[in-house]
A and B are shown apart, each in its own frame.
Chain A
């Protein structure tokens, strides 16, 4: 068990990467503390799986190093890295029984049959597979197979991290929730570091203590679900997490306050002066936008009912602003104005939060 660190690491699938876009992963240094439950969240093609494969050793990074504790494992093959990985599509050895599947990684490492038997039965009980140990693995349902994949990681007592690559993709919706709770429970029980790759924010936010958000090969923010929600460090995080996503509006700076459409938008703290040439934007989540007697004049375009609240689409000039109105709230008809909660209004320069 140890901390996993990526130091000044970057990776390209091309032989001679030149342009910025040639890098699948741009330079990053990330620490994964021992025993943490992490989610690696981002859209398809953002480099999540590449990052995971570098941690597990299936890929060697083009530059930089990978450390497990104080040991440099950059060039150590996966089978000697004390890592287990569960893939998107369940991998089971078809010709073997469930028992033999679970025993496979131990037998490959020359563990004595007594220990194999003890470990396999222990893990099978934990995963509720004990009733089907003699069944052929190929006959199981997708969730059963995925449990086996997970079990092959859990049986090894040398495993310091289990990596999940969108493991619930092929699982029926009603079983997803069951398996996810099971994972969470297992994490608390075995205390192994778990890194869970997904593009589904619900999965990420319910599973993880720390969420790592990735965008175009860059880690844009690492934080708790609450941090990601309240203080998105990048407009991408604001947009990607939350439903509907954060409102992002162009602005100018004047006297430490952002100016949107000629109207000053108050923030909790004054914004330091920025050099010119940057793209400046205000970010505010629909949850922190309210109707007010005065403020930014808008017209209401559409109201959609989302159960406990309504999503109101408003328009100011060419800019669309969404807000959430509690169920039953009466909406102003003519001459509506909105205001942003100063404590939750951020300013972004070229996408990155500056205040």
Chain B
């Protein structure tokens, strides 16, 4: 390789982006760090607290419970949305006039604002006036998501699957479309079964887009707030209080800035760590 040229002036070109990142990420993040190590009783008077809040959050059963709920929720929706999204993408036509029709229908849920989704599903699932709620009850199943934890979970998951499976579908479909016809023809001639085509052609070619889909769905669902907040408000009891709902309760409901800031940072670290693990695992074989 040629020797590298060092030119300090080059930093000037990087400067705008450094400033931008500083304003939209670093500075807000540092104010949170600031709160997380101090205690205040109002009037802008702060007392040094050290890592006390972090210890408190990490040992709090309430935090453990919402983290467990959060992990379960994310795990369940990933386990449903990824296989379902791939399955739908596989059944979509590869060419012809129906392609655009399918794509538009698939994109529609993604265009609806989150709080509208929450409100819609709230009414849709109400046992006395909602179509879904009344329908389930009419089948003889006692269903009331405002009172039964299981029903609340079922409704929240169903809502998320309805809202976000399309994203996986669209990404998987893009991956499938990039496979040249010759691969399918060669597989036919090689006598490959449908499963072998999926396992050895479609899945490997979808790997990159699926990695992105899983990462996006993981991050989004791990930080989900608006939809369950509007649908169940975190209830009944605390049964659908996910991490971000809990965080808002502590920060704005109880106005405990210190613990809330510490929790924010821990929350952030968990998202970062899990995303990194996901990405590393999925890209493990890429460079061999």
Contact = CB atoms under 8 A, between A and B. Distances in A.
Given A93-B200, A94-B204, A58 B191 contact: no
A88 B196 CA distance: 22
B182 A89 contact: yes
A78 B182 contact: no
What secondary structure prevails in chain A residues at the interface with B? mixed
B190 A105 contact: yes
A94 B204 CA distance: 7
Given A91-B182, A139-B288, A83 B192 contact: no
A95 B188 contact: no
B180 interface: yes
Given A94-B204, A139-B288, A152 B190 contact: yes
Most buried by A among B180, B186, B189, B193: B189
A95 B189 CA distance: 19
Most buried by B among A95, A109, A139: A95
B268 interface: no
A149 B185 CA distance: 12
Interface residues of B, number: 17
Given A79-B191, A95-B200, A108-B192, A85 B186 contact: yes
Given A104-B192, A105-B191, A91 B200 contact: no
B86 to A, nearest CB: 16
B189 A89 contact: no
Given A58-B185, A89-B180, A91-B183, A108 B200 contact: no
Contacts of A54: none
A305 B107 CA distance: 62
Contact of B186 (A53, A77, A87, A95): A87
A87 B200 contact: no
Contacts of A77: 188
A84 interface: yes
Interface in A141-155: 149, 152-153
Contacts of A109: 191
Contacts of B204: 93-95
Nearest to B183: A91
Nearest to B286: A138
B192 A85 contact: no
A56 interface: yes
Contacts of B201: 93
28 contacts: A56-B185, A56-B189, A77-B188, A78-B185, A78-B189, A79-B189, A79-B190, A79-B191, A85-B185, A85-B186, A85-B189, A87-B182, A87-B185, A87-B186, A89-B182, A91-B182, A91-B183, A91-B186, A93-B200, A104-B190, A104-B192, A105-B189, A105-B190, A108-B191, A108-B193, A109-B191, A136-B288, A152-B190
Given A78-B189, A85-B189, A108-B193, 16 more contacts: A53-B185, A58-B189, A78-B185, A79-B191, A87-B182, A87-B186, A93-B200, A93-B201, A94-B204, A94-B205, A95-B200, A96-B200, A105-B191, A108-B190, A108-B191, A108-B196
Interface of B: 180, 182-183, 185-186, 188-193, 196, 200-201, 204-205, 288
